[in-house]
Homo-oligomer: A and B are copies of this chain.
């Protein structure tokens, strides 16, 4: 194949990172710009071009580039647009894929971060060789990318795959979610949700090393768990149980070969994963029991967002 490189773009609220990726998933070279410095989308597109064109020249020119993939918040694969992303400077619907494609004369596709993460795992990570799997990303929120028969599920409108917003708690006092509803998986299993699970135990008076921590975070809870702290361990147990219960429901939908977990809180996988697996197999419909793999992302120590974006074009 002549086109030996792909461009991956990780468009975030702070930085927009460009990477040239080879067929083995190595990032050959990269650059970045400050997203917030370009309140006009035209200026942002021009800045992207000026950042990425030197990278393209460095690896041998445009003929060697198979295309550009972008992972961005609120991005829609079908329209190639970003719509009303709260942390990005542009209002309304921004047809970024088209604008960049016209400026760079490259094929450009765009999707949201979690979908890009799923493609990254399939092409370069833990899902190599799989055709049916789900990536669940734990971070500020809980995102998901669903792959069925080797293809990302975008749904009728490009908004499929919001498994962080499965209702996992239907009680009246379930936690309130940023989406305006109560009981979403995200309110319990995002980094913030995990912190809250610890806080609730602290407020109930459970003794814990975490009382001495200034700013509670998933990482601080992890450190406490490593020291045997009961509240920290219990926090991850509950997190794992809810993820396992959610996966048991999700399996009735598409019976995946594997669930792959990604994101900061999964640094604590030793405390979370056993409870995901145990709860899943206890709660899933018997025909599915003990048949599904639960894996950790293989891209957590790499630039997963850039690799995932590049993988969209693979």
A153 touches B254 (CB 8 A): yes
Of A149, A250, A257, which is in contact with the most chain B CB atoms at under 10 Å from its CB? Answer: A149
| Interface size, A (range) | 35 or more
A255 touches B148 (CB 8 A): no
Choice from B162, B249, B254 contacting A160 with Cβ under 8 Å: B254
A252 touches B162 (CB 8 A): yes
B-contacting 9-mer, from A164-172, A194-202, A228-236, A267-275:
A164-172
A161 touches B285 (CB 8 A): no
B167 touches A249 (CB 8 A): yes
Q: A288 contacts which chain B residues (CB < 8 A)? A: 159
B253 touches A167 (CB 8 A): no
Contact indicator per residue, chain A 51-82, by CB within 8 Å of chain B (1) or not (0): 00000000000000000000000000000000
B257 touches A156 (CB 8 A): yes
A166 touches B252 (CB 8 A): yes
CA distance in complex: A100, B166 (Å): 42
- How many protomers of this protein does the assembly include? 2
B253 touches A180 (CB 8 A): no
Q: A287 contacts which chain B residues (CB < 8 A)? A: 159, 162
Q: A181 contacts which chain B residues (CB < 8 A)? A: 283, 285
Of A158, A250, A287, which is in contact with the most chain B CB atoms at under 10 Å from its CB? Answer: A287
Known contacts A170-B170, A255-B160, A165 near B132 by CB under 8 Å: no
Question: Across the two chains, which residue of chain B brings its CB closest to A185?
Answer: B252
Question: Across the two chains, which residue of chain B brings its CB closest to A168?
Answer: B170
CA distance in complex: A180, B149 (Å): 30
Known contacts A167-B248, A181-B285, A153 near B159 by CB under 8 Å: no
CA distance in complex: A249, B149 (Å): 22
Task: Check A212 for interface membership: any CB of B closer than 8 A.
Answer: no
Task: Check A179 for interface membership: any CB of B closer than 8 A.
Answer: yes
Task: Check A191 for interface membership: any CB of B closer than 8 A.
Answer: no
14 A-B residue contacts at CB 8 Å?
A: A146-B254, A153-B254, A155-B254, A156-B257, A159-B288, A160-B255, A162-B252, A162-B285, A163-B252, A163-B253, A165-B285, A166-B252, A180-B286, A253-B253
